[in-house]
């Protein structure tokens, strides 16, 4: 048993474009292991200092000698944790911090070179190291699961059939687990990358349908790593199992648990029953990783901007408390390991017995023991049948096919280019790409606009947005080829449907152009891609500097609000003018009537 503290790192990200535009100030400074924060409202106040295992300065760029790259973070934290995984320890790395602070970037990262986060780098390394293995008696298997906890409900991101929430149960020995959560066997890194990618897509589809905000969802990616050693002498297989969990989000209970654990270790009190693990599904599932049988590392993601001062300080305080948590990790050995030891002892004892009775010729030249019948019986009882892992593989493959079929039915492309991960953009067919508040969930779904008429939101739809018929989204895309052999796509909203193009509500058909932003209903935000137009634009602007804000979810939202704001003002002014002229007209009429009545009365007198 190894008692070790939770490794704690903090990392500060660069300013985002909004912070840049607002002229935000950086309130964080770092030097070696120490991080210090300055109160922007009280600049004279002494800065607050914290010390961590690692303080990562990622606020600048690669040219800065003190810059901490994705690689650096992985080398410090990921490599050590992977080493522990090979030793047979449970391993957990989690990121903590406010929305937008850089948790997903640190854990998952991006697919561009040098931008991959801890999880992909670790998976890649894991397979590289198992591939290097030359020991014929040592074999490995890797299984992964990917779940999301949203509002205390667990969703299986790798199994399309599990629509509802999964149950969390407790095994008397293994502890809390998720019932029926699918585990996929993987044999190489690209398998894992595919699963992560489809998992992220499933997450996006579900989140869009429920109009969920990413700040309340917690993703847990688990790797079950089994090392199987075949003992030649006894013909037994022993397993070392290691579970590595990666969480990219956190919630208040996690904060409370960290706090309570820190208190417990600080005051030497042993009141583990007092830790509020059970208050949330996340902490309940990660009970062992937070203060139990695990080697655990936490990365607190920090925003650098002055406006976030309070949140940054509270994240730093949590991270500071987490340092005091002690985990008692044990190497996970299965009962076979003990049996092997016992049998070896028995073998030696029998050898000695044979020797002492002058029957050493029964021991073969290679030193191997010729075993007795009861010995084999014992072995067989404990050997796992070889075909079991084949069953697992078959299962994996059929679930994968189901999942791909389901996503395809929703209009989502999966691996059409023969296996590469990420968004596959068709060469000619215009399509919609989803935009999401969470960059990880943005641009991962593609909806094709085929030749002819594509309906959205109707029973006979060609596009079922996020797998559902959504009534208020009724609209039609018409795609045709004009005389210049160009594909022209027109968007027609149907009566009652709320459809916006570049922030303006449309009531008549519009011809869509490359890069147009389309908002349908309340939650469905897309960018229209016209590959041919895009190619032309690129050629035209090849000499010009690339510039401007990225056309992402925030861009589409900002534009929508601005346009709607301006339109509402225009509308109000027009209404006011209408009212004024109506009032004038009514007054004139009233005056006329009054005048006429006066004349009538005069006549009568
Ligand atoms: P969170 O998951 O904590 O809500 P994200 O990881 O999505 O936050 O980060 C928000 C944005 O900041 C993303 O666009 C991400 O790419 C960017 N970002 C975060 N950390 C870094 C970093 N260290 N370097 C560059 N960009 C980063
Ligand atoms: Mg995130």
pLDDT in tens, 398-456: 455 565 555 554 445 444 433 333 344 556 788 888 888 777 677 777 777 878 887 77
Q: What is the pLDDT of residue 312?
A: 93
The verdict on domain 431-540+553-564 having CATH code 2.60.120.260 is no
pLDDT in tens, 532-557: 888 888 887 765 555 567 788 878 87
208 pLDDT band, cuts 50/70/90, is: low
Distance between CA atoms of residues 429 and 420, nearest Å: 19
301: Cβ below 6 Å to ligand 1?
yes
| Ligand 2 centroid – CA 218 distance (Å) | 9
Fold of 4-327: Kinesin (3.40.850)
109: Cβ below 6 Å to ligand 1?
no
100 in a labelled binding site: yes
| Ligand 2 centroid – CA 381 distance (Å) | 47
15 pLDDT band, cuts 50/70/90, is: very high
Distance between CA atoms of residues 271 and 265, nearest Å: 10
Domain boundaries, the chain: 4-327, 431-540+553-564
Closest atom of ligand 1 relative to the 301 alpha carbon: 3
55: Cβ below 6 Å to ligand 1?
no
Alpha-carbon distances, residue 347 vs 344, 354, 364, 382, 526 (angstroms)? 5, 10, 13, 17, 69
Residue 422, C-beta contacts closer than 8 angstroms, at least 6 positions apart:
111, 197
Which residue, judged by its Cα, is nearest atom 11 of ligand 1? 100
Specify the 3-state DSSP secondary structure of 259.
Answer: helix
Of 277 and 106, more confident: 106
Distance between CA atoms of residues 448 and 344, nearest Å: 63
Of 281 and 116, more confident: 116
- Enumerate residues with CB within 5 Å of ligand 2 (an ion): 104
Q: Taking residues 378-403, what's their average pLDDT?
A: 34
Q: What is the pLDDT of residue 297?
A: 86
Q: For a ligand 1 pocket test, name from 105, 118, 204 the mutation site with the most ligand atoms within 8 angstroms of its C-beta.
A: 105
Q: Between vectors from CA 268 to CA 259 and to CA 242, what angle results, nearest 5°?
A: 65
Of 496 and 221, more confident: 221
104 in a labelled binding site: yes
Distance between CA atoms of residues 191 and 449, nearest Å: 29
pLDDT of 286 higher than 90: no
102 in a labelled binding site: yes
What would the two tokens of residue 112 be? 């561009």
232 pLDDT band, cuts 50/70/90, is: low
| Ligand 2 centroid – CA 104 distance (Å) | 4
pLDDT of 127 higher than 70: yes
- Asked which of 63-67, 359-363, 592-596 is least confident by mean pLDDT, the reply is 359-363
Count H helices and E strands in the chain, helices first. Answer: 14, 26
Radius of gyration of the chain from Cα atoms? 32
What would the two tokens of residue 329 be? 């990790």
Q: What is the pLDDT of residue 417?
A: 38
Q: What is the pLDDT of residue 140?
A: 81
- Asked which of 82-86, 161-165, 385-389 is least confident by mean pLDDT, the reply is 385-389
Which residue, judged by its Cα, is nearest atom 5 of ligand 1? 102
| Ligand 1 centroid – CA 499 distance (Å) | 30
Distance between CA atoms of residues 248 and 515, nearest Å: 31
Q: What is the pLDDT of residue 350?
A: 61
Q: What is the pLDDT of residue 460?
A: 47
What would the two tokens of residue 535 be? 């190619």
pLDDT in tens, 132-148: 888 888 888 888 888 88
Q: What is the pLDDT of residue 103?
A: 86
- Asked which of 123-127, 223-227, 575-579 is least confident by mean pLDDT, the reply is 575-579
pLDDT of 344 higher than 70: no
- Asked which of 143-157, 200-214, 234-248, 416-430 is least confident by mean pLDDT, the reply is 416-430
pLDDT of 303 higher than 80: yes
Query: Which of 7-11, 196-200, 261-265, 581-585 is modeled with the greatest confidence?
Result: 7-11
pLDDT of 564 higher than 90: no
pLDDT of 385 higher than 50: no
Q: What is the pLDDT of residue 517?
A: 92
| Ligand 2 centroid – CA 99 distance (Å) | 7
pLDDT of 308 higher than 70: yes
Q: What is the pLDDT of residue 41?
A: 93
């Amino acid at each position: 048993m190894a008692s070790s503290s939770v490794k704690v790192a903090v990392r500060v990200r660069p300013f985002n474009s909004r912070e840049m535009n607002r002229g935000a100030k950086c309130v964080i400074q770092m030097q070696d292991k120490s991080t210090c924060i300055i109160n922007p409202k009280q600049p004279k106040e002494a800065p607050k200092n914290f010390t961590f295992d690692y303080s990562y300065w990622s606020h600048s760029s690669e040219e800065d000698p003190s810059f901490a790259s994705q690689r650096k973070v992985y080398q410090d934290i990921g490599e050590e944790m992977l080493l522990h995984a090979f030793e047979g320890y449970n391993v957990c790395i989690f990121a903590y911090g406010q929305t937008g602070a850089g948790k997903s970037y640190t854990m998952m990262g991006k697919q561009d070179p040098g931008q991959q986060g801890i999880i992909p780098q670790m998976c890649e390394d894991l397979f590289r190291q198992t591939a290097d293995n030359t020991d014929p008696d040592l074999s490995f298997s890797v299984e992964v699961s990917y779940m999301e906890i949203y509002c205390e409900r667990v969703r299986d991101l790798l199994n399309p059939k599990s629509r509802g929430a999964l149950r969390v149960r407790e095994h008397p020995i293994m502890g809390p687990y998720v019932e029926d959560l699918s585990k996929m066997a993987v044999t190489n890194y690209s398998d894992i990358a595919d699963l992560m990618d489809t998992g992220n897509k499933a997450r996006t589809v579900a989140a869009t349908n429920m109009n969920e905000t990413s700040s309340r969802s917690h993703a847990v990616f688990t790797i079950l790593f089994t090392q199987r050693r075949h003992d030649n002498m006894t013909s037994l297989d022993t397993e070392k199992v290691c579970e590595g969990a990666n969480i990219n989000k956190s919630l208040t209970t996690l904060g409370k648990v960290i706090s309570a654990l820190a208190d417990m270790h600080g005051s030497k009190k042993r009141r583990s029953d007092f830790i509020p693990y059970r208050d949330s599904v996340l902490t309940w599932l990660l009970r062992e990783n937070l203060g139990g049988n695990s080697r655990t590392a936490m990365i607190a993601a920090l925003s650098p901007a002055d406006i976030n001062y309070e949140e940054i300080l509270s994240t730093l305080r949590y991270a500071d408390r987490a340092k005091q948590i002690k985990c008692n990790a044990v190497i996970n050995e299965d009962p076979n390991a003990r049996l092997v030891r016992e049998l070896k002892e028995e073998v030696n004892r029998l050898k000695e017995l044979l020797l002492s009775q002058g029957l050493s010729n029964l021991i073969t030249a290679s030193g191997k023991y010729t075993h007795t019948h009861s010995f084999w019986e014992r072995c067989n009882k404990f050997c796992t049948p070889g075909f079991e892992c084949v069953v697992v593989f078959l299962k994996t493959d059929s679930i994968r096919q189901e999942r791909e079929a389901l996503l395809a039915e929703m209009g989502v492309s999966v691996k059409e280019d023969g296996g590469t991960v990420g968004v596959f953009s068709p060469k000619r067919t215009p399509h919609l790409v989803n935009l999401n508040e969470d960059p990880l969930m943005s641009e991962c779904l593609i909806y094709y606009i085929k030749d002819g008429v594509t309906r959205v939101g109707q029973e006979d739809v060609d596009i079922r947005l996020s797998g559902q018929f959504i009534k208020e989204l009724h609209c039609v895309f018409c795609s045709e080829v004009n005389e210049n052999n160009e594909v022209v796509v027109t968007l027609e909203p149907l009566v009652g449907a709320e459809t916006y193009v570049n922030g303006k509500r449309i009531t008549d058909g519009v011809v869509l152009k490359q890069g147009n932003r389309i908002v349908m209903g309340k939650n469905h935000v897309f960018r229209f891609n016209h590959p041919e137009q895009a190619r032309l634009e690129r050629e035209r602007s090849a000499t010009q500097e690339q510039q401007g804000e990225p056309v992402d979810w925030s861009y589409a939202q900002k534009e929508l609000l601005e346009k709607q704001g301006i339109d509402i003002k225009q509308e109000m002014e027009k209404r006011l003018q209408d009212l004024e002229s109506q009032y004038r007209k009514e007054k004139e009429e009233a005056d006329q009537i009054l005048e006429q009545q006066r004349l009538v009365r005069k006549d009568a007198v």
